[in-house]
A and B are shown apart, each in its own frame.
Chain A
Amino acid sequence: SAVISQKPSRDICQRGTSLTIQCQVDSQVTMMFWYRQQPGQSLTLIATANQGSEATYESGFVIDKFPISRPNLTFSTLTVSNMSPEDSSIYLCSVARTEAFFGQGTRLTVV
């Protein structure tokens, strides 16, 4: 199994600002995943973060809007940049073993 600590758990931000979400895993993992869950919707993969290389972004997500860092094998950050109300979502980080384990999520509201 894996224990994932994600913070902040929630935040209310002004439009035009940026928020960095942190994800800490209790063991080393090769890949970490960032998902977005818009209100009432399913999970959508934003990007896959490998340690020591650029993150791989899914269609519709770009590095300028969602820069990701992966400085070591247990930690990653996702920044939501220049936020607008449409960015209001739950953001989740995840690691995969035999199944995907998820952090508690960051509930972001942009006003």
Chain B
Amino acid sequence: AQKVTQAQTEISVVEKEDVTLDCVYETRDTTYYLFWYKQPPSGELVFLIRRNSFDEQNEISGRYSWNFQKSTSSFNFTITASQVVDSAVYFCALSEWDGQNFVFGPGTRLSVLP
């Protein structure tokens, strides 16, 4: 069975600090996809990144970076120089095949204080 764990329920940082959100997953499939979504207070889900199981290359997009390590079944998300607008709930998710049968983690609520 698939499972996604986000051990950090809530994190608070002061603006400009770096913060890492942890994600650990479980799956028996050799082909799978990992995602991060952001849910700001307004409630919509914003897609941040998709990574397939064959691509362990880390990715950087502006202040965001992702560290995918199959050896530890982790897909961690780092925000550099955090800003107040980064305050949101962040969900890590896993799908068995492209874009379907999603399993979401419990989410991490990030509060960035001015």
> CA–CA, A45 to B101, complex, Å?
9
The count of chain A contact residues (Cβ–Cβ below 8 Å) is 20
The proximity string for B residues 89-107 relative to A, scoring 1 for CB distances below 8 Å and 0 otherwise, is 0010101001110101111
Q: Which B residues lie within 8 Å of A62 (CB)?
A: none
A100 and B44 contact, Cβ closer than 8 Å, known pairs A31-B100, A42-B105: no
Q: By CB atoms of chain A within 10 A, which of B44, B45, B47, B98 has the most?
A: B45
Q: Which B residues lie within 8 Å of A105 (CB)?
A: 43-45
The count of chain B contact residues (Cβ–Cβ below 8 Å) is 18
- Check if A42 sits within 8 Å of B50, measured CB to CB: no
- Check if A104 sits within 8 Å of B44, measured CB to CB: yes
Query: In angstroms, how far is the closest chain A Cβ from the Cβ of B66?
Result: 14
The proximity string for A residues 79-96 relative to B, scoring 1 for CB distances below 8 Å and 0 otherwise, is 000000000001010101
Q: Does any Cβ of B come within 8 Å of A34's Cβ?
A: no
Q: Which B residues lie within 8 Å of A31 (CB)?
A: 100
- Check if A97 sits within 8 Å of B104, measured CB to CB: no
Q: Which residue of A lies closest to B100 (CB)?
A: A96
> CA–CA, A105 to B33, complex, Å?
24
Interface SS of chain A: strand
Q: Which A residues lie within 8 Å of B100 (CB)?
A: 31, 96
Q: Does any Cβ of B come within 8 Å of A70's Cβ?
A: no
Query: In angstroms, how far is the closest chain B Cβ from the Cβ of A108?
Result: 12
Give chain B interface residues in 51-105, CB to chain A under 8 Å.
91, 93, 95, 98-100, 102, 104-105
Give chain A interface residues in 19-47, CB to chain B under 8 Å.
31, 33, 41-45
Residues of A with Cβ closer than 8 Å to B? Answer: 31, 33, 41-45, 90, 92, 94, 96-102, 104-105, 107
Residues of B with Cβ closer than 8 Å to A? Answer: 33, 35, 43-45, 47, 50, 91, 93, 95, 98-100, 102, 104-107
